[in-house]
Amino acid sequence: MSKDSSQSKTYFGGRWVTGPDNTYFFLTLVLTYAPHVPFFALVCPYFDDKMTAMVYVIPGYVLVASTVLLFLAAFTDPGIVPRGKPLTEDNPFALEQKAPLTRKHVVKGAELDTKWCDTCCVYRPLRTSHCGICNNCVENFDHHCPWVGNCIGRRNYRYFLFFIFLNSFECLYVMAICITHIIMNTNDSHKSGRGEQFKDGLHQSYYFSIILIVYAVAGLGFVGGLSGFHCFLVASGISTNEFIKKTFKNRKNPFTRGFFKNYIYALCPFGRPGFFRQSMTRPVEMEVFPPAAATSHTNTSIV
């Protein structure tokens, strides 16, 4: 495969788009499902006579929902920008017409630069970055997530957010049920006179409850910390990529809409069509071919 071509994999006629390596995606599925086997089989049955069936329904629903969200995040076009026609001798444009390196845009009074991508042969839209792993320019690029196996961008960021939020809740729920299981079963053992309160109570599913608590704490440290970090990013109206590059450290962020509107925009987006699939079936023509490099940039105002 050419180094200048997209590394993304497509399935079902381009309806599913994912990254070049999905190894960690399957590992994520295993890590998600593995603790639920002993939880449903050994811990939940203890509560059959003490609680309602919700002890099964809540984690079961969260597990199914998080699985669907994981697949949506992993196989949704993240917002890949279709490639333009490369500057070659086959083009009607001369090779000497080299694109200027940047263009300036004005957003809410703030000047922002957009770069010409030599690989994709397009000017990157605002807040777009090139992913070196997938070899694509991605709109609203947040990061490339190896655990999902895809870029996280404009079209799948909400699925990624809901996935880590649900998994954080699942870790807390499993932890709470397992702690309750240990306490209640220990009290039952003590009242029945079967020996010391805790020593003799460590039997059967107790071991699994302790292991699940440790597993949930470790999982919460990862997905819980990630959830908190992205809550901060959404509230601030910036992406992980912009946070790492400190894009708005010394100037105002013109893309923030305010606390509540930032969350609405991130979690409930409207009208976010994908263009990558269409670009697979027909050649992409440049709407505005870069002019001769008489200047280093052009000025564009964004309303």
Residue positions annotated with a catalytic role: 145
Contact 212, 173 (CB under 8 A): no
Look-up of token digits 């708005």 = 248
Side chain identity at residue 177, one-letter code: I
Euclidean distance between CA atoms 95 and 87, whole angstroms:
6
Euclidean distance between CA atoms 15 and 291, whole angstroms:
35
For the chain, give percent helix, strand, coil, nearest 5.
45, 15, 45
Euclidean distance between CA atoms 233 and 160, whole angstroms:
13
Beta partners for residue 300, in sequence order? 105
Euclidean distance between CA atoms 198 and 122, whole angstroms:
67
Q: Which two tokens stand for residue 68?
A: 């669907």
Euclidean distance between CA atoms 275 and 248, whole angstroms:
28
Euclidean distance between CA atoms 103 and 19, whole angstroms:
29
Euclidean distance between CA atoms 228 and 223, whole angstroms:
9
Of 115, 140, 156, nearest to 16 by C-alpha is: 156
Q: Which two tokens stand for residue 300?
A: 């564009």
Side chain identity at residue 111, one-letter code: E
Of 212, 70, 239, 66, nearest to 139 by C-alpha is: 239
